[in-house]
Structure formats: structure tokens, C-alpha cells
């Protein structure tokens, strides 16, 4: 726990540019809710070192992407007065703890992580940095002695590995770290334009900060019910990605849409659904777009927020590292 008696919470995202609907519904909206609950001392990070596991050949856009994600964080409702916002590489203690953890963690523990196996096969990634990604992720969490991490179900294997690493460290060196618990969010599945999970890797995403014309273009490109070829054909809305999004962004309309679609009514078709969804998304994120544009127009303000956040994060992280160095009986540990 923090000195104020509140539990400590940490989470972060890679700076891959503007955040999309999947990021928002899957994490960011929950982050804002947790912030406003007042129950936690919260650290939200932009994990730029993690981004280098895939963007190492050309990191020239990394700085701009950090600004973009910082603007998204704040425009979505994160308040730098309530939470600590910072960039991972501004807190070098993350790297020191990662190095020390790498000395005690068996390689097979890292190789069995599901996302490692999947991306080695699909993306051909095979660097040490990619193999050690979950270890650096563990360092990110425990450097703040976090009690909890908000995650989706697909991230549970990473958190369980972090808990296992904590147990191993504590076995060797004493009770230094708490085992972080999962704060599971009941996030809906956000389908991309191809009905796979929304992801920039698949280029099937819609960003909250996209201009209205791009949102409309992306929505109109969605695959819908492949069995509904003509307007008069009966549809199957429960398998349609556009209907899945309408349930989130136009819930008051979905009962009527479902009835019209399933009956094969000629008064309602897929194009009409798409137009409604585009309209709802443009309206829903209008204030978000305005706020992020204002933030990006003042880069020095964003830099100051991240710099102040890093200073607070470093203080907590260095406090942890002093405990770690003493526990491991490192040179000049004090």
C-alpha cells in the first residue's frame, strides 16, 4: 500500500499512435472509473520501451506517438491531478529491476507465455527484448509495489507470470513485493472492420480521435452478416459486428434494429445500420476530439504533465529499488 493507506494500482499502454475503440472500451474507460473511485493511488504509464519490441527498426515516430497517447489519456478523462501519468523510459529504475529479475527467472517461464508463441509464429519476432517483454512488464508493475492491475481476461497469463516471479523473488530475498491482483474489467468484445478483435496490427480499427469523414469511411467498410445479401433477406444481428457496436453506442435503438433485421424488413438494411453507427460515433467522441486537439496544440503542456508524473513515479520507484538492493545485498546498497 501507499503511505496514504490506499492500495496502489498500475497499468499502461504502448505508444502506437491514436487509441482506438478497443483501447477505450477495453481499458481506458475503466481507468477513468477507477481514478474517480478514489480508492487507489494510481500510476498510468506510456510504455515506450515495450514499443521497441516491434518498432526497433524505425523508432523515429515514437516521440510523436507518445504525445498522441498522452493526449488521448487526458481527453478521455484521466486527470493528472488525480493520477500519475508518465513515460516508462523517464523512470530508469524500471530497467534496473528488469535486469535484476532477468537473473532469477528461467527462460522456459518466458517461452510459455501464449502471446509470445503466437507472435513468434505470426510476426516472426525472435529478439531477446520480445522474449523478455513479460519480464519488463513485471518490473513495470512491481517497481511501484502495485497491489492491483486492471486487465482483461486475455492478459491474465501475463499477470499470473508476474505473480510467479514475485513469489520466486520473495523466496530468495524475503518479502519485498506484494503479489499483484487482477482487477478484471467486464469489457465487451470490440470487433474491427473484418470482425476480428479490433487491433492496429490488423488495420481494422477506428480511433476516437479520427475526423468524422474517416470514422464514416471506416464504418462503411465493415463486414456485416454475410448471409444477408439483399435488403429483404432475414439477418442474424447477433453475429454482426456493426450490431455489436450499436449495442454499445446506440443501445436504445437495438431492440428495434434487431426486430427489423431478423424479419427481413425492407425498411432497414445494413447500410442504414452503418450510417447510424457512424453518426453515433461521431457524436459520442466530438468533445473528446476537441479536447485532444487542444492538448496537441500545446506540446509543452503535455511534456510538463509527463515530466511531473515521471518525477513522482521515480520517487516511488527509487524507494522500491533501495529495498531491493538491500534485500539482494548489492554493492553500496546501504
User: How far are the Cα atoms of 18, 62, 248 from residue 14, in angstroms, in the given order?
Assistant: 10, 10, 25
CA dist 140 and 79 (Å) reads 21
Give me the pLDDT at residue 188, please.
82
Residue 159: per-residue pLDDT: 92
Tell whether the model's pLDDT for residue 283 goes beyond 80. yes
pLDDT at position 116 is 64
Q: By three-state DSSP, how is residue 203 classified?
A: coil
With CA atoms as reference, report the closest residue to 272 among 301, 231, 302, 212.
Answer: 231
Percent of the chain predicted with pLDDT > 90: 73
For 221-243, give one letter per residue: b (16+ CB within 10 A) or e.
Answer: ebbbbeebeeeeeebebeebbbb
Report how far residue 330's alpha carbon sits from residue 72's, in angstroms, rounded to the nearest whole number.
40
Look at residues 61, 81, 143 and name the one whose alpha carbon lies nearest to residue 305: 81
- Average pLDDT, stretch 241-258? 93
For residue range 156-190, list pLDDT tens digits in order: 888 999 999 999 999 999 999 999 999 987 778 89
* The predicted structure's pLDDT at residue 125: 67
* pLDDT above 80 for 119: no
Round to whole Å and give the CA distance between 62 and 40.
30
Residue 302 has pLDDT above 90, yes or no: yes
- Other C-beta atoms closer than 10 Å to the C-beta of 256 total 10
CB contact at 8 A, 309 and 86: yes
pLDDT tens digits, one per residue of 284-297: 999 999 999 999 99
- Of 23, 21, 22, which Cα lies nearest the Cα of 46? 23
Question: Is the pLDDT reported for residue 1 higher than 90?
Answer: no
Residues with a catalytic annotation lie at: 119, 197, 200
Q: Please report the DSSP string for 90-137 in residue order.
A: G-THHHHHHHHHHTTS-HHHHHT-HHHHHHHHHH----HHHHTHHHHH
Average pLDDT score over residue span 239-248: 94
Q: Give CA separation, 219 vs 234, 237, 314, in Å.
A: 22, 16, 42
Average pLDDT over residues 92-106: 97
Spatial CA neighbour of 70 closest among 286, 283, 308, 281: 308
Distances (CA, A) of 38 to 7, 42, 116: 10, 9, 35
pTM over the 0.75 mark: yes
Average pLDDT over every residue of 125-132: 80
Integer Cα distance of 58 and 287 in angstroms: 33
pLDDT digits (tens, 9 = 90+) for 53-98: 888 888 999 999 999 999 999 999 999 999 999 999 999 999 999 9
Task: Classify 264 in phi/psi space as left (phi over 0), alpha (psi -120 to 50) or beta.
Answer: left
Average pLDDT over residues 10-14: 96
**DSSP letter string, 205-236:** --BTTS-HHHHHHHHHT----TT--STTS---
The pLDDT score that the predictor gives to residue 314 is 98
Q: What pLDDT, on the 0 to 100 scale, is given for residue 124?
A: 61
Whether pLDDT at 122 is above 70: no
Condensed to tens digits (0 to 9), the pLDDT of residues 184-239 reads: 877 788 999 999 999 988 899 999 999 999 999 999 999 888 777 777 778 889 99
Computed over every residue of the chain, the mean pLDDT equals 92
CA dihedral 60, 61, 62, 64 (to 10 degrees): 130
pLDDT at 296: 97
DSSP 8-state assignment for residue 267: T
Contacts 24+ apart (CB under 8 A), 265-270: 265/232, 266/231, 266/232, 269/231, 270/224, 270/225, 270/228, 270/235, 270/240, 270/242
- What domains does the chain contain, in order, with CATH numbers? 7-190+299-327 (3.40.50.620), 210-284 (1.10.240.10)
Q: Quote the pLDDT of residue 286.
A: 97
Q: Is the pLDDT of residue 247 over 70?
A: yes
Amino acid at each position: 500500500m501507499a503511505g496514504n493507506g490506499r492500495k496502489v494500482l498500475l497499468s499502461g499502454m504502448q505508444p502506437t499512435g491514436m487509441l482506438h475503440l478497443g483501447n477505450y472500451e477495453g481499458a481506458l474507460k475503466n481507468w477513468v472509473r477507477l481514478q474517480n473511485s478514489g480508492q487507489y493511488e494510481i500510476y498510468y504509464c506510456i510504455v515506450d520501451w515495450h514499443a521497441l519490441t516491434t518498432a526497433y527498426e524505425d523508432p523515429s515516430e515514437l516521440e510523436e506517438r507518445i504525445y498522441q497517447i498522452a493526449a488521448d489519456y487526458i481527453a478521455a478523462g484521466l486527470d493528472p491531478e488525480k493520477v500519475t501519468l508518465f513515460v516508462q523510459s523517464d523512470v530508469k529504475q524500471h530497467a534496473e529491476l528488469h535486469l535484476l529479475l532477468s537473473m532469477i527467472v528461467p527462460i522456459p517461464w518466458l517461452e510459455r507465455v501464449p502471446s509470445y508463441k503466437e507472435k513468434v509464429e505470426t510476426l516472426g519476432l525472435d529478439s531477446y527484448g520480445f522474449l523478455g517483454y513479460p519480464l519488463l512488464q513485471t518490473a513495470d508493475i512491481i517497481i511501484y509495489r502495485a497491489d492491483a492491475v486492471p486487465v482483461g481476461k486475455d492478459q491474465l497469463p501475463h499477470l499470473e507470470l508476474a505473480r510467479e516471479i514475485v513469489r520466486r523473488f520473495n523466496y530468495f530475498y524475503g518479502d519485498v513485493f506484494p503479489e499483484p491482483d487482477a482487477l478484471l474489467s467486464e469489457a465487451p468484445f470490440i470487433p474491427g472492420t473484418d470482425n476480428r478483435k479490433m487491433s492496429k496490427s490488423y488495420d481494422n480499427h477506428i480511433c476516437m480521435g479520427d475526423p468524422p469523414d474517416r470514422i464514416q469511411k471506416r464504418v462503411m467498410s465493415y463486414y456485416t452478416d454475410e448471409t444477408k445479401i439483399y435488403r429483404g433477406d432475414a439477418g442474424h444481428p447477433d453475429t454482426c459486428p456493426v450490431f455489436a457496436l450499436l449495442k454499445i453506442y446506440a443501445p436504445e435503438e437495438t431492440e428495434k434494429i434487431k426486430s427489423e433485421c431478423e424479419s427481413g424488413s425492407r425498411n432497414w438494411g445494413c447500410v442504414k445500420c452503418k450510417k447510424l453507427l457512424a453518426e453515433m460515433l461521431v457524436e459520442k467522441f466530438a468533445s473528446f476530439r476537441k479536447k485532444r486537439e487542444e492538448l496537441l496544440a500545446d506540446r509543452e503542456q503535455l511534456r510538463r504533465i509527463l515530466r511531473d508524473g515521471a518525477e513522482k513515479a521515480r520517487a516511488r520507484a527509487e524507494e522500491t529499488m533501495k529495498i531491493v538492493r538491500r534485500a539482494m545485498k548489492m554493492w553500496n546498497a546501504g
